[in-house]
């Protein structure tokens, strides 16, 4: 069995507590190693349901779990609340800034698993971020929720004053027709037409305009065209304007310019692209055009077989096509990296190259409707939605979260109500629409 030069158990450092990092940590629970999981947040986030926090169907705690709580019974694991500032691959050290003590320190490792995920890409237009927030974190979701609800409050205030309504107040533009954009647009339409329809006295929330903008010819571009069209028709029945083959040229505080046409809107949400974490810079490893680290068939970087890169941080291909940046890929890669480490420590034969088993993809489009591609099978409608619901409940961490989310979904299904309609950080952070005077 492999040990360090001092006779101690090998140390595995995992950077990132998302799907890939957490799966790797748990897969090492019976291994003769010391695991340290580093994350700058203290919680694991179930990101596929983040849009439901942004649209007030779920609360942040419903889709999050404290990392220490998840690993509390794993005796060989510890957690560091810290931000990685660099990696010395020659000395096998990770440089950290401890977020609790605000001190810098280093961690030695024998094996490193980098699972730092991805952020939002504005394709070279980072100035758009202030006007069109992305959706990657709990903070993003609660800020978007606040902006959506504030838009209705601002319109209500104008209505109470007897002022002429500005159409842009209740115009919501979602940029990006992938699963996140489709799910967001459908959920916002349902909030306006169902959940809020009786809450206001001077406006009609159902008059809200929701526009989904996608540069490609079809929304859900990775799905079969037939499923894409079904999703589009469902969105249009919900009242969403779907604009495909439409290129965003500019975004400012007054709205969006799409193919030369201005869409006046006070609430714009960006769901169009992702950018890699700085892991490639830390590791001094080759990257692709998006900044993702180019990894070998065993998910390691050149000349450093002890360094694994997984999930959205990695650029990996299979059968000549790049692997998608989705949770199942990250989870399978995390399990693979842990298995490879276990085998090396035990002196066993090397593990075969990583192979992703595609179990399918799915996206929900409003109430009781989803589209799903499961290998060669295409599904849509209520059956796909029920399957989507069951799989998401299954993969949520913790019985409490599963029970709470199931109850919230059942309540929303039966009553159309959403209990998480909270406007937080109003005084300090809210972006008050320009048509409403600031106090």
Domain ranges of the chain: 11-120+274-345, 128-272
Averaged pLDDT score across all residues of the chain: 90
Q: Is 90 exceeded by the pLDDT of residue 139? A: yes
**Around Cβ 72, how many Cβ atoms within 10 Å?**
11
> Are 111 and 266 spatial neighbours (Cβ–Cβ below 8 Å)?
no
What is the SS3 assignment for the chain? CCCCCCCCCCEEEEECCCHHHHHHHHHCCCCCCEEEEEECCCEEECHHHHHHHHCCCCCHHHHEEEHHHHCCCCCCEEEEEEEEEEEECCCCEEEEEECCCCCEEEEECCEEEECCCEEECCCCCHHHHHCCCCCCCHHHHHHHHHHHHHHHHHHHHHHHHCCCCCHHHHEEEEECCCHHHHHHHHHHHHHHHHHCCCCCCCCCHHHCEEEEECCCCCCCCCCCHHHHHHHHHHHHHCCEEEECCCCEEEEECCEEEECCEEEECCEEEECCCEEECCHHHHHCCCECCCCCEECCCCCEECCEEEEEECHHHEECEECCEECCCCHHHHHHHHHHHHHHHHHHHCCCCCCCCCCCCCCCEEEECCCCCEEEEECCEEEEEHHHHHHHHHHHHHHCCCHHHHHHHHHHHHHHHHHCCCCCCCCCCHHHHCCCCCCCCCC
128-272 CATH, one of 3.50.50.100, 3.30.420.40, 1.25.40.80, 1.20.1260.10: 3.50.50.100
Query: Which range, of 36-40, 267-271, 336-340, 421-425, averages the lowest pLDDT?
Result: 421-425
The burial class, CB within 10 Å (0-12 / 13-18 / 19+), for 40 is middle
Any idea which of 174-178, 276-280, 350-354 has the lowest mean pLDDT?
276-280
Domain 11-120+274-345: top CATH class: alpha beta
pLDDT in tens, 271-284: 998 888 899 999 99
Q: What is the pLDDT of residues 59-116, one digit of tens each?
A: 998 889 999 999 999 999 999 999 999 999 999 999 999 999 999 999 999 999 999 9
Higher pLDDT, 63 or 36: 36
Contact predicate 44/69, CB 8 Å: no
Q: Is the pLDDT of residue 142 over 60?
A: yes
Active site includes 183?
yes
Is the separation of the CB atoms in 128 and 27 below 8 Å? Answer: no
**Domain 11-120+274-345 shares a fold with domain 128-272:** yes
Q: Does residue 430 register a pLDDT over 70?
A: no
Pairing, β 370-374 against β 118-120: unpaired
Q: At what angle do helices 399-415 and 382-395 cross, to 10 degrees?
A: 150
pLDDT band at 350 (very low <50, low <70, confident <90, very high): confident
User: Is 419's pLDDT higher than 70?
Assistant: no
Compute the CA torsion angle 391, 394, 395, 397 (nearest 10 deg). Answer: 150
Residue scoring higher pLDDT (420 or 407): 407
Which entry of 57, 153, 183, 190 is annotated as an active-site residue? 183
- When comparing pLDDT for 5 and 101, which is higher? 101
Token pair of 151 as six digits:
């838009």
Q: Distance (Å, rounded) from C-alpha 359 to C-alpha 357?
A: 6
């Amino acid at each position: 069995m492999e040990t360090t030069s001092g006779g101690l158990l090998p140390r595995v450092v995992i950077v990132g507590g998302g799907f890939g990092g957490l799966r790797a940590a748990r897969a090492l629970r019976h291994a003769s190693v010391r695991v340290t999981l580093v994350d700058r947040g203290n919680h694991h986030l179930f990101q596929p349901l983040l849009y439901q926090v942004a649209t007030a169907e779920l609360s942040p705690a419903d889709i999050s779990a404290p990392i220490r709580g998840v690993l509390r019974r794993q005796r060989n694991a510890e957690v560091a609340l810290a931000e990685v500032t660099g990696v010395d691959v020659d000395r096998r050290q990770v440089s950290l800034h401890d977020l609790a003590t605000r001190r810098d320190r280093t961690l030695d490792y024998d094996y490193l698993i980098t699972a730092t995920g991805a952020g939002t890409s504005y394709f070279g237009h980072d100035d758009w971020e202030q006007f069109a927030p992305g959706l990657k974190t709990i903070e993003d979701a609660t800020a978007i929720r606040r902006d959506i609800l504030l838009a209705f409050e601002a319109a209500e205030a104008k209505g109470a004053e007897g002022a002429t309504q500005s159409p842009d107040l209740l115009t919501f533009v979602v940029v990006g027709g992938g699963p996140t954009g489709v799910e967001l647009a459908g959920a916002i339409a349902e909030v306006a037409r169902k959940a809020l329809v009786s809450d206001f006295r001077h406006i009609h929330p159902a008059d809200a305009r929701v526009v989904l903008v996608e540069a490609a010819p079809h929304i859900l571009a990775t799905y079969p065209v037939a499923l894409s069209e079904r999703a589009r028709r469902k969105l249009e029945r919900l009242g969403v304007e779907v604009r495909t083959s439409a290129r965003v040229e500019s975004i400012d505080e007054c709205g969006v310019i799409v193919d030369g046409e201005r869409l006046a809107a006070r609430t714009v949400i960006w769901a169009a692209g992702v950018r890699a974490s700085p892991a490639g810079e830390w590791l001094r490893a080759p990257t692709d055009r998006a900044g993702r680290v180019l990894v070998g068939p065993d998910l390691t970087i050149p000349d450093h077989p002890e360094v694994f890169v997984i999930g959205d941080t990695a650029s990996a291909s299979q059968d000549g096509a790049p692997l998608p940046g989705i949770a199942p890929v990250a989870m399978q890669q995390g399990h693979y990296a842990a298995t490879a480490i276990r085998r090396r420590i035990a002196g066993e034969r090397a593990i075969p190259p990583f192979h992703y088993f595609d179990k399918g993809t799915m996206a929900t489009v409003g109430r009781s409707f989803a589209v799903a591609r499961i290998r060669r099978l295409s599904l849509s409608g209520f059956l796909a939605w029920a399957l989507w619901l069951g799989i998401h409940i299954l993969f949520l961490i913790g019985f409490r979260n599963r029970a709470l989310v199931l109850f919230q979904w059942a309540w929303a299904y039966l009553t159309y109500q959403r209990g998480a309609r909270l406007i937080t950080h109003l005084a300090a952070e809210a972006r008050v629409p320009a048509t409403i005077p600031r106090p």
